[in-house]
Amino acid sequence: MKYFLVLFSLFCFNTTFAQELNCKVTVNASQIQSVGTTVDKSLFPDMERAIFNFMNNQRWTNDVFSEKEKIKCSLNITLAKSPAQNVFNAKTQFQVIRPIYGTTLETVTLQYFDQVFDFSYAPEDRQMIFNEQNFTNNLTSMLAFYSLMAIAIDYDSFSKFGGTPFIERAFNVSNLAGNSAGGPWIMDTDTRNRYWLIENIRSQPFVAFREGFYNYHRIALDDFATNPANSRKVILDFLNTIKNVAGLKQNSIIINTFFDAKSAEIINIFSEGTKQEKQQVFELVSFLDPDKTENYRKILK
């Protein structure tokens, strides 16, 4: 529906082209520690503005977005250390948000915690130049990767496998960065790094996950207000699909990020379900996302 509306606005109104993302950026430097160097704290507001401009001004598609149709997301960067001048070790939380049609509500489609977000930034870097076919630096590659993943996840939620072209482009960014920078861009024992994020979503076992992800959003959530019983059935089917996928790909980052984004939502949705639905869902989610088992017990009340 989103893209039919976009096309309608293209032909019927004088809609100007606009970038795809509406991204809130926060750089938190309150806990940063320097190692053998003095940190210039006046650099941080400039860094935040430069990252904000990249995330909100870079253009990734030829689709038309009005201001209210932009993909909402947030990037929270927590600086931990500065091991050398203008070099930073950080962690990030990246979140992508989608409206639920027919309501005033929103849903989180991606919640990703990046534990190794290391980069360099100097005042002369405020004009970030990015070439999708070449590796320039770690910061622009990470921001481009996040941007393409945001679009891929959003498009997948509106159109079955609609995000595929952007997944492939994110993979290309990851591959180029891996060849040049290594670290979280390459295969590692840390199964939550960027390599595994893109590997998971591109792999054959996750075809069923991506189809179910579309059903969860477009069929279940968007229709929940008018047909909650059917929506719960669709979501229950998807949770069973995730269980099957998890058996093929254990400890998958895509499954972990899904439950990081959706645990509270699933609790709310099934708190009004039948006794049988509640029991089925509790058994599934406590198995798939055991760290949140105590929270999931709310479903049974």
pLDDT interval class at 91 (50, 70, 90): very high
Q: Would you say residue 123 lies in a domain?
A: no
Phi, psi of 80 (to 5 degrees): -105, -50
pLDDT interval class at 73 (50, 70, 90): very high
Structure tokens at 131: 């070439």
Q: Would you say residue 133 lies in a domain?
A: no
pLDDT interval class at 278 (50, 70, 90): very high
Q: Would you say residue 222 lies in a domain?
A: yes
Average pLDDT over residues 271-280: 96
Provide the pLDDT for residue 17: 52
Distance of alpha carbon 277 from alpha carbon 282, whole angstroms: 8
Measured over the CA atoms of residue 177, residue 79, residue 92 and residue 149, the dihedral's sign is: negative
Q: What is the dihedral of CA 197, 199, 201, 202, to 10 degrees?
A: 150
Of 6-15, 96-105, 175-184, 243-252, minimum mean pLDDT range: 6-15
The 10s digit of each residue's pLDDT in 102-161 is: 899 999 999 999 999 999 999 888 889 999 999 999 999 999 999 999 999 999 999 999
The 10s digit of each residue's pLDDT in 281-291 is: 999 999 999 99
pLDDT interval class at 23 (50, 70, 90): very high
Q: Would you say residue 284 lies in a domain?
A: yes
β-pair partners for 45: none
Distance of alpha carbon 49 from alpha carbon 189, whole angstroms: 34
User: In the predicted model, what is the mean pLDDT of the chain?
Assistant: 92
pLDDT interval class at 243 (50, 70, 90): very high
Q: Which domain holds residue 210?
A: 205-301
Q: Would you say residue 274 lies in a domain?
A: yes
Structural domains in the chain (count): 1
Q: Would you say residue 77 lies in a domain?
A: no
User: 10 Å Cβ neighbour count for 270?
Assistant: 24
Distance of alpha carbon 34 from alpha carbon 278, whole angstroms: 50
Average pLDDT over residues 55-82: 96
Q: Would you say residue 296 lies in a domain?
A: yes
Distance of alpha carbon 256 from alpha carbon 121, whole angstroms: 31
Q: Is 92:75 a contact under the CB 8 Å cutoff?
A: yes
Average pLDDT over residues 62-78: 96
Q: Would you say residue 89 lies in a domain?
A: no
Residue 13 has pLDDT above 70, yes or no: no
Residue 232 has pLDDT above 90, yes or no: yes
Q: Is 238:215 a contact under the CB 8 Å cutoff?
A: yes
